[in-house]
Amino acid sequence: MLCKRSVMPWERESGRFFDLLQAGDESAKKVWEKYLEDLAVLVTDLRMVFDCDIILGGYVGGYLKKYIMDLNKKVVKLDPFDNDTTYLQTCRYEREASAVGIAMRFIEKYFDMLL
């Protein structure tokens, strides 16, 4: 099980994986299904161990909003204790979240100086 974007071959080479997926490319669909299955296992394991909310972020997290229902269905099938996936969310910032995060530190310092 490997849940990172490098398992999507077209993404590594050209950044086109999600374009191909949306266009209905069968190879991309197959890779994406496997990715979602692995991610569902990971989410279920994390939930079982930590019993906490899970936010899916990173590069692929920006694309997951469209596919969250598919992921939810896979998670529910794996979790014998819970059929509610409201603990599972996609990230708010779909692109460059780390840049926003670091910028907030400087903005907060600036506002602190004003007060």
Q: Where are the beta strands (DSSP E) in the chain?
A: 54-56, 88-90
CB burial of residue 37 (10 Å; 0-12, 13-18, 19+):
middle
Q: Helical H runs in 62-96?
A: 68-78
Number of residues written out for the chain: 115
Query: Distance between alpha carbon 100 and the CA centroid of its chain, in Å?
Result: 17
pLDDT in tens, 3-43: 666 666 656 555 688 888 999 999 889 989 999 999 999 99
pLDDT in tens, 72-111: 999 999 998 889 999 999 988 777 767 777 888 888 989 8
